[in-house]
Amino acid sequence: MKALVTGATGQLGTDVVNILRSKGHDVLACDRNELDITDQTQCQDVVSQYRPDVVIHCAAYTAVDLAETDIDGAYKVNAVGTRNIAVAAESIGAKLIYISTDYVFDGTSKEPYQEYDNTNPQSIYGKSKRAGEVLVQSLSSKYFIVRTSWVYGIHGNNFVKTMLRLGQDKPSLRVVHDQKGSPTYTVDLANFLLELMQTEKYGVYHASNSGACTWYEFTQAIFEEARSLGINIIAQPEPCTTVEFPRPAHRPANSVMEHLSIRGNGFQDLRPWRAGLTDFLQQWSVIEIK
């Protein structure tokens, strides 16, 4: 298949491009230098010339806290940019995969969120990503909306890399213990997108590594796995509350998402988050040692 990937040099986009190419697919990898998604004419021109079978839209405004003051910037990328990609993909009959987020929910549910539960984003980032979902659903006839959470990978900055760096430098770290979610390894998510794009099982999907933990429990696991690989972690994590660690943007207390669509459409669920973390750390340790 021919695939166009936006945000192709980002954390997820890099792995999507690498995995698709390794499986023999023809990929046009577009970062912001090749494709400004906020420019509708450019989107139409690039998509029309390449004529992909599928557009995997990884590009996004992801600075969650900055979005609280840069409202126009967040909506320009996550809403207007997504509209431009959706319109261009639809004009040539291409499938569209839109990467969305757990932040479209308010996080107050006691149970994991299902794909068709009512959304209620509380942050500008979440609201702008939800706006992108609405535009995809309105403008595309062949779409997959894939909501994910707590994403980390080898490329780019993320929570795991930050904890590994701090864990080697500081004797103690305070980590939030009242926010729960599912860490997601970019390689596992990219492999699911590879499988999804080759089908016509359109709709909304929740895709994260299976299982759940708090940020504090995630940190404990990161340090345990890192030490088992001989990485010199000196820090001891200490639990704290969200109130004790205030941030500009609202964080959902519960980001755990049910995978009804994955099971209902006959896909294999993503593996447990701890297994993904182990593989990530093995790869990361090799790169760091080099």
Who contacts 53 (Cβ-Cβ below 8 Å, separation ≥6)? 1, 2, 3, 94, 95
Q: Which two tokens stand for residue 70?
A: 């840069």
Determine phi and psi for 265, rounding to 5 degrees: -100, 10
Taking every pair of Cα atoms in the chain, the longest distance, rounded to a whole number of angstroms, is: 56
Contacts of 275-278 with C-beta under 8 Å, sequence gap 24+, read 275/209, 276/183, 276/184, 276/185, 276/187, 276/188, 276/209, 277/160, 277/183, 277/185, 277/221, 277/222, 277/225, 278/225
CA distances from 31 to 8, 72, 242 (A): 5, 21, 34
* Spatial CA neighbour of 188 closest among 255, 272, 256: 272
3-state secondary structure of 205: strand
Residue 125 known to be catalytic: yes
Cβ–Cβ < 8 Å for 102, 148: yes
CA distances from 43 to 36, 105, 194, 263 (A): 7, 29, 23, 34
In the set 75, 103, 113, 125, the catalytic residue is: 125
**Catalytic residue positions, numbered:** 125
